[in-house]
Amino acid sequence: MFVQRPPLGWNTWNTYGAKINEKLVMESADAMVETGLADAGYEYVVIDDCWALHERDENGRLVPDPEKFPHGMKYLADYIHSKGLKFGMYSCAGYLTCARYPASYDYEWIDARTFAEWGVDFLKYDFCYHPVSEKSDILYKRMGLALANCGRDILFSACSWGSDHTRQWIKETGANMWRSTGDINDSWASIKLIAQSQLPVQEYNAPNCFNDMDMLVVGMKGSGNVGLTGCSFEEYRFHFSLWAMMNSPLMIGCDIRNMDEETRKILLNKEVLAVNQDSAGNQPYFANSDYYTPNEARRPDEPFFREYPLRMVKLAKLLDNGDIAIGFFNFMDEPCEDAVITPDMIGLPLSSGRTVELTDLWTGEVLRTDNGIIRGRACAAHGCQMYRAKVVDRK
């Protein structure tokens, strides 16, 4: 299957971990529709780890834990589909999942068939407890092939955390998205660390096999399974904007049944979502004159989690209608006024006779640029500005 846009949805792991059940998942599917998330484009409802019994049945099939999922998975899939949504599940390329439930190594074909029969539309495929005798790419090729032959379109969401140079072989496996980072937690430190590791691998990102920067912590406020210190509203806005700008899948991780107004405002910002979902699928690039370029970042010998000094990161992305998305991301602990780029940096020379008009994607405010400098508003500490730049005639 070909996946044109970064998948959008919700996953149980960040908030609930092992504490999952049918009622929770059904209520979350309801919430997805009632809160407007579904209308905004979020469609996958994904059950992560800890849904199965510890033993397979006599036919070698995985068995949903009857205490957590008394009506089984087909029932849940039907319910989710009846809401116009899609159903995701989780397994792992090893003998056990990361939480030590049975996983799919040497059961790939049985499991792919089972998921297809249950009506699964999305499979997150983890990397714990895998046999050292098998190469990592083969582990993902095995499930990729089984899914491609299971008789149903199932989006393949690989989750090997970027290890073993995942980026070099993942597109061979049929994966539609690949986790390019370790696990996120609900803290500014985690957001910053992931950003640091992700900016240099952006060139591996493309439609049909998106770099997955991990699930969103927006709105968790320090609670739940990966809740830690929590983040400020400003930091959640930054996190969402950066993930959107980087073409990452956006899988919500908070309790969507109980979102506060601020969380809704972030997750339902249709203008920012439109940048993420833009149909051209172009790669974002650095518009910092004083910064490294992706080519400099790519060196065969570089360790994956290379440390870059993050200060003010300026990203731009050409959109399908000729507009340009521009994001200013202030990683520093103090405010920064340097939300400035020159038109040259986005390919707009003086000879074009054009300038840009900026629409602030968080406030709707329109700023006009006529003096040869594209200037956004200052960014708070850990804050960002997101604009859609429209090319207009110079006055």
Binding of residue 99 to ligand GLA (CB under 6 A): yes
Task: Supply φ then ψ for residue 390, to 5 degrees.
Answer: -105, 135
Site string for ligand GLA, 124-143 (x = CB under 6 A): --x-----------------
Q: Exactly one of 7, 9, 12, 13 binds ligand GLA (CB under 6 A); which one?
A: 13
Residue numbers 43-62 binding ligand GLA by CB under 6 A: 48-49
Q: Which stretch binds ligand GLA (CB under 6 A): 67-75, 91-99, 170-178, 370-378?
A: 91-99
| Residue in this structure with the two tokens 């054009």, named with its chain if needed | 354
Active site residue 49: no
* Cβ at position 31, least distance to ligand GLA in Å: 21
* In contact, 225 and 16? CB cutoff 8 Å: yes
Nearest alpha carbon to residue 270 among 152, 388, 126? 388
Q: Which stretch binds ligand GLA (CB under 6 A): 97-105, 265-273, 334-342, 358-366?
A: 97-105
Q: Would you say how long the chain is, in residues?
A: 395
Nearest alpha carbon to residue 8 among 326, 267, 280, 238? 267
Active site residue 78: no
Structure token digits, residue 277: 């979902």
Residues 6 or more apart whose CB falls under 8 angstroms from that of 381 comprise 234, 330, 332, 333, 334, 335
Tell me how far apart the alpha carbons of residues 129 and 361 are, in angstroms, rounded to a whole number: 43
* In contact, 175 and 168? CB cutoff 8 Å: no
Binding of residue 226 to ligand GLA (CB under 6 A): no
Binding of residue 381 to ligand GLA (CB under 6 A): no
Binding of residue 195 to ligand GLA (CB under 6 A): no
Task: Supply φ then ψ for residue 313, to 5 degrees.
Answer: -100, 130
Q: Catalytic residue among 153, 164, 183, 360, which?
A: 183
Q: Residue 257, Cβ neighbours under 10 Å: how many?
A: 13
Nearest alpha carbon to residue 30 among 235, 187, 258, 238? 258
Which residue's CB is nearer to ligand GLA, number 93 or number 313? 93
Binding of residue 228 to ligand GLA (CB under 6 A): no
Q: Exactly one of 98, 199, 246, 341 binds ligand GLA (CB under 6 A); which one?
A: 98
* In contact, 251 and 32? CB cutoff 8 Å: no
Which residue's CB is nearer to ligand GLA, number 147 or number 361? 147
Q: Which stretch binds ligand GLA (CB under 6 A): 95-103, 201-209, 335-343, 344-352?
A: 95-103
Which residue's CB is nearer to ligand GLA, number 35 or number 97? 97
60 conformational bin, left if phi > 0, alpha if psi -120 to 50, beta if neither: left
Side-chain-side CA neighbours of 32 within 13 Å: the count stands at 30
Binding of residue 115 to ligand GLA (CB under 6 A): no
Binding of residue 111 to ligand GLA (CB under 6 A): no
Structure token digits, residue 9: 């949805």
Which residue's CB is nearer to ligand GLA, number 103 or number 348? 103
> How many residues belong to the site for ligand GLA (CB under 6 A)?
9
Binding of residue 217 to ligand GLA (CB under 6 A): no
User: Where in the chain does DSSP place strands (E)?
Assistant: 8-11, 44-46, 86-92, 122-126, 155-158, 177-179, 210-212, 250-252, 285-286, 312-318, 324-330, 340-341, 354-360, 366-368, 374-375, 384-393
Site string for ligand GLA, 162-191 (x = CB under 6 A): ---------------------x--------
Question: 357-380 b/e with 16+ CB inside 10 Å = b?
Answer: bbbbbbeeeeeebeeeebebbebb
Which residue's CB is nearer to ligand GLA, number 38 or number 184? 184
* Cβ at position 288, least distance to ligand GLA in Å: 31
* Cβ at position 90, least distance to ligand GLA in Å: 6
Which residue's CB is nearer to ligand GLA, number 48 or number 278? 48
* Cβ at position 73, least distance to ligand GLA in Å: 17
Q: Catalytic residue among 121, 126, 255, 323, which?
A: 126
* Cβ at position 170, least distance to ligand GLA in Å: 15
Which residues are known catalytic residues? 126, 183
Q: Which residues bind ligand GLA (CB under 6 A)?
A: 13, 48-49, 97-99, 126, 159, 183
